[in-house]
Amino acid sequence: MGQFGIGQAVTRFEDPRLVRGQGRFLGDVNLPGQAHAVVVRSMHAHARLRAVDTAAARRAPGVLAVFTGADVARDGLGAMRMTLKRKRPDGSPMFAPPHPGLARDRVRYVGDPVALVIAGTQAEAEDAAELVRVDYEPLPSVTSTAAAVGGAPVWDECPDNVSNVYEAGDRAATDGAFARAHRVIRRRYVITRVHAQYMEARGALGAYEPGEDRYTLYADVQYPHRVRNALAGNIFKIPEHKIRVVAGDVGGAFGTKGWQYAEHRLVLWAAKKLGRPVKWACERREAVPADEHARDNVSEAELALDADGRFLGLRVRTLANVGAYVSSDRNLLATFANVVTLVGVYTIPSAHVHVTCVLTNTNSTAPYRGAGRPEATYVIERLIDDAARELGLDRLELRRKNLIPASAMPYRTPLGVTYDCGEFEQSMARALALADVAGFAARREESRRRGKLRGLAVVNAIERAAGAQPEFAEIRFNPGGSATVLMGTKNQGQGHETTFKQILHERLGLDPAERSSAARRCGWPPTR
């Protein structure tokens, strides 16, 4: 319907305020009387906490409180819980220790929160945090994924550092394919640990209303409903309606600002104890030790081929580093959710994948930019390139020979998913033409003459989308002829405002350029 209908090219409605500097980020939110918090973090990968001396910090100018892990334990603050059912190699339940909020007895990675310092201003809190004296007894640590199994125990209760294992595919069929293979290509691929860097580092502002006995968290989170559910059910053990989570413009996330972090519960807990709002703003230099990381895998991959260069089987053994704490299902998602895409877009009759999730003295890992898809694509595409080099074959021809043909659709892969459609050979051909691969040699030579290096990668990536989830939606019609749309999904830069307005325009004939008075009244951040 008209120029704003579904499928029409529409200029995004949310962009003008963002490019004009009128975004509503967490740094823009401040509440009257708020205090400021700084987290004191461990400088050791593994150490026993002999003592945490907060006396000098408590006496510092402007300081309102200094809390430690003992205070958290005394107040009975809860921890996250896993819902996934995974097992260790011996069949026993997986070992998944959640983070307590503030460390007690031991710290287990560089950046592990030890104390929370709260003062009237940010500067006062930072100065006081420097006065917290922590007596550490350094302990052996393991930070290498490859050395995790059998390395220094991160937890005494799990001496081999194996949290859990996951398998996919048919082991017997795959072993049979390798037994009759003409050639087997074996490689070890290391996918390094990565960290997100956003426009706005993480933060949290907690408030508590004693009259309503209700918490409000302002945070730059991607899934505010999940954060609320976790805080209510696991941490504070109260009904969900007692906690409200407000999220404005996220300021960059890519998965790393997904679910509940320790700082969320700490500012809410402190706000109730102090009787005033408490704000924590992560400094840029603090983000790497404070946040969840991603990737950090070591894969032993094998590809079986027949005498004609056709793929017979794929076998992958992966060590996936999950860090020192496993606080929620989120910390394991990337280790298994996209294992099925390891076979890529290729006809591979049999495959078997075994993932060992290992604990190390590092930050927890979680989904970031693809939740396991980039790792899977990297392994299969590198393996094909290495096979082509070792066998003296053209890497493009080797791919063409093994692509799943369009005539095979729907195609069920040996790792248990079905591709309902796909024209992979045509897609690769178009990409090669658009990239002018035929002219690459000349471009590389021209770069060499200028002292530059030029490379070319060919990758047939495939992504497994997240599963469909039930979502809340409500439309409220106003007497003036406008409407207010309430959606459960959180915009993180994908253009929700534009998309939903297009749907309303097409289905209800509403002018997408107008904004209801109700929507204006519900502007974020709050003003008081």
Q: Which pLDDT belongs to residue 90?
A: 95
Residues 369 and 409 in one domain: yes
User: What's the burial of 340, exposed, middle or buried (CB within 10 Å: 0-12/13-18/19+)?
Assistant: buried
Distance (Å, rounded) from C-alpha 82 to C-alpha 284?
30
Domain span at 263:
31-139+198-290
CATH number, domain with residue 347: 3.30.365.10
Residue 55 makes CB contacts below 8 A (sequence gap 6+) with none
Residues 222 and 113 in one domain: yes
Residues 181 and 298 in one domain: yes
Q: Which pLDDT belongs to residue 515?
A: 55
- Asked if residues 344 and 428 have their Cβ atoms less than 8 Å apart, the reply is no
- 147 domain-assigned: no
- 144 domain-assigned: no
**Beta-bridge mates of residue 319:** 298, 356
CA angle 81, 149, 262 (to 5 degrees): 30
**Residue with tokens 């003409």, as numbered in its chain:** 182
- 155 domain-assigned: no
- Give the neighbor-by-neighbor strand order of the sheet with 106-107: 106-107, 47-53, 133-138
Last residue within a domain, chosen from 449, 477, 502: 449
Q: Which pLDDT belongs to residue 255?
A: 82
- 146 domain-assigned: no
Q: Which of 110, 39, 96, 143 is nearest to 330 (CA)?
A: 96
Q: Which pLDDT belongs to residue 484?
A: 85
CA dihedral sign, ordered 391, 396, 401, 402: positive
Q: How far out from the chain centre does Cα 343 lie?
A: 23
Residues 10 and 94 in one domain: no
Last residue within a domain, chosen from 245, 266, 290: 290
Q: Which pLDDT belongs to residue 59?
A: 98
Phi and psi (nearest 5°) for 109?
A: -165, 160
397: left (phi over 0), alpha (psi -120 to 50) or beta: alpha
Residues 394 and 505 in one domain: no
Distance (Å, rounded) from C-alpha 355 to C-alpha 338?
12
Residues 217 and 237 in one domain: yes
CATH number, domain with residue 238: 3.90.1170.50
Q: Which two tokens stand for residue 124?
A: 């006062």
Residues 83 and 221 in one domain: yes
Q: Which pLDDT belongs to residue 471?
A: 75
CA angle 434, 440, 441 (to 5 degrees): 160
- 458 domain-assigned: no
pTM of the model: 0.90
Residue-wise pLDDT tens digits, 247-301: 998 888 888 888 889 999 999 999 999 999 999 999 999 999 999 999 999 999 9
- 239 domain-assigned: yes
Distance (Å, rounded) from C-alpha 147 to C-alpha 264?
33
Concatenating the DSSP letter of every residue in 28-93 gives G---TT-EEEEEEE-SSSSEEEEEEE-HHHHHSTTEEEEEEHHHHHHTT----------B-TTSSB
Residues 431 and 513 in one domain: no
Residues 12 and 57 in one domain: no
pLDDT digits (tens), the chain, 528 positions: 466 777 778 888 888 888 898 888 999 999 999 999 999 999 999 999 999 999 999 999 999 999 999 999 999 999 988 899 999 999 999 999 999 999 999 999 999 999 999 999 999 999 999 999 999 999 999 999 999 999 999 999 999 999 999 999 999 999 999 999 999 999 999 999 999 888 899 999 999 999 999 999 999 998 898 899 999 999 999 999 999 999 998 888 888 888 889 999 999 999 999 999 999 999 999 999 999 999 999 999 999 999 999 999 999 999 999 999 999 999 999 999 889 999 999 999 999 999 999 999 999 999 988 888 899 999 999 999 999 999 999 999 999 999 999 999 999 999 999 999 999 999 999 999 999 999 999 999 999 999 999 999 999 999 877 666 777 788 998 888 778 888 878 877 778 888 888 888 888 887 777 654 333 333 344 333
- Asked if residues 525 and 25 have their Cβ atoms less than 8 Å apart, the reply is no
Residues 262 and 302 in one domain: no
**Beta-bridge mates of residue 279:** 36, 205
Residues 190 and 245 in one domain: no
In Å, what is the CA distance from 41 to each residue of 54, 59, 68, 103, 177?
Answer: 14, 20, 11, 9, 51
- 527 domain-assigned: no
DSSP state, residue 458:
-
Q: Which pLDDT belongs to residue 509?
A: 82
**Beta-bridge mates of residue 245:** 217
Residues 19 and 55 in one domain: no
- Total number of domains in the chain: 3
**Helix, coil or strand: residue 129:** helix
Q: Which pLDDT belongs to residue 422?
A: 94
Distance (Å, rounded) from C-alpha 43 to C-alpha 289?
10
Last residue within a domain, chosen from 421, 449, 477: 449
Distance (Å, rounded) from C-alpha 13 to C-alpha 33?
35
- 459 domain-assigned: no
